Structure 1
């Protein structure tokens, strides 16, 4: 494939991204663009992270999904390693056989000769991987360069989606609740020691102080912790 053909494919991708309004449609467009623009790519998939676990969200051919599933079932493979290590993996079947024997067996049966997994990184975290499969031979450096461009498109698409924002909001809310609970537990423990009271009585003191000072219980707990640290 010439540089002009590659550029044409990327321009078509840009047009797809402009009209797509759903994450699924956008990722499907990127997967198709990978197959048409990356030399030697016969199938592509995009796996996104859902509650810390990868799940295939788009494919250009069924074989990509089948090989993704092999990795999920065995807990190992190029896609999962790219997720964990935040690095691009470019392997032929011999190399894959040494590192991922179960995956290599499945790839050989499917007629796949090489694989490349590209991490889609957003704010330092891998939110997805672009997984490329070839039946003709190993991917080269130019394929990796185009894959990196498409991986960046995947990261932007995922990060801008309402689904991702909602999931991120849930995680942040859960973390805030956990932090608040930890502050309340610590303040309760400090009151039990300082006031020689039970946990129930300490919680009552927190509620009373919150009502009197017109603050939340969490704010009172954090104030108690700060005062304790100053005394120390």
Structure 2
């Protein structure tokens, strides 16, 4: 998914344009991955200089990179996962923004920062996603030291919020779809059971309750779901019967 954002545009207007495009994405046309991919692609396209971006998730103490804009971001995320520490993990698990202004002199995670320098990243910004019940962060890796100013930090925080909103909205949408699907299945089951009851009522001059109890007895006696017994009766005209013991 390509977002048409130019680095020649001013930082604030480019950020607004990218966020508008992200917010306009239609949930039913996208997955969680494509929504989050739009966020990291917009982060890369909008922030000045050469940067790579990723989103880290920590589920059950196991970190993973959900999406990334380039190999640099993936490599440095995974370098931190292997060590069990680093700026992206700290941001995701503590909710604190972490900035490395110059990886050559930062002393907090020396084994990681030496790897970052080796891979060509001199500075980075890790922004926690503001969500309840989920540990996640937006990571931005830059090739130049001191790559982030107040405007770019603000932009990164806005993209992190957009990612959090995307996750929340997609979760709500999927939950609603699951509820709708379950209701549809329930309505279909009720419809076929009502049809089966009608057959029994007409055939044996039963009340609705008596016909329902006949279906329940057949279901229990054959160890089949009530819906399956009703389906069979509607389709074949025959009520399934339990096998007789010899």
After TM superposition, the score normalised by the length of structure 1 is: 0.63
Q: Which residue of 1 aligns with 2:137?
A: 129
Q: For the structure 1 residues 38 and 109, does the alpha-carbon distance in structure 2 shift closer, same or farther, using more than 3 Å as the test?
A: same
Q: Which residue of 1 aligns with 2:155?
A: 146
Question: 2:34 matched to 1:25?
Answer: yes
Q: Unaligned 5+ residue runs, structure 1? A: 167-232
Tell me which protein shows more helix as a share of its residues: 1
Q: Which residue of 2 aligns with 1:85?
A: 94
Q: Retained in 2: the 8 A contact 1:118–1:151?
A: yes
Q: Which residue of 1 aligns with 2:64?
A: 55
Counterparts of 1:145-224 in structure 2, within 5 Å, are 145-162=154-171
Q: Which residue of 2 aligns with 1:113?
A: 122
Which one has a bigger Cα radius of gyration? 2
Q: For the structure 1 residues 36 and 61, does the alpha-carbon distance in structure 2 shift closer, same or farther, using more than 3 Å as the test?
A: same
- CA RMSD after TM alignment: 2.6
Cα deviations across residues 67-109 of structure 1 (Å, max 9, x unaligned)?
Answer: 0000000011001111222111111234773001121111111
Count of paired positions: 165
Distance 1:104 1:20 in 2: 39
Distance 1:122 1:134 in 2: 25
Cα deviations across residues 152-211 of structure 1 (Å, max 9, x unaligned)?
Answer: 111222234449x88xxxxxxxxxxxxxxxxxxxxxxxxxxxxxxxxxxxxxxxxxxxxx
Superposition deviation, residue 140 in structure 1: 1.2
Q: Retained in 2: the 8 A contact 1:16–1:29?
A: no
Q: Retained in 2: the 8 A contact 1:35–1:60?
A: yes
Q: For the structure 1 residues 20 and 118, does the alpha-carbon distance in structure 2 shift closer, same or farther, using more than 3 Å as the test?
A: farther
For the residue of structure 2 that corresponds to 1:40, the secondary structure is coil
Q: Which residue of 2 aligns with 1:186?
A: none
Distance 2:128 2:97 in 1: 6
For the residue of structure 1 that corresponds to 2:121, the secondary structure is coil
Q: Unaligned 5+ residue runs, structure 2? A: 1-8, 176-246
Q: Retained in 2: the 8 A contact 1:78–1:117?
A: yes
Q: Retained in 2: the 8 A contact 1:127–1:158?
A: no
Distance 2:112 2:25 in 1: 32
Cα deviations across residues 16-49 of structure 1 (Å, max 9, x unaligned)?
Answer: 4667521111111100011112233510000122
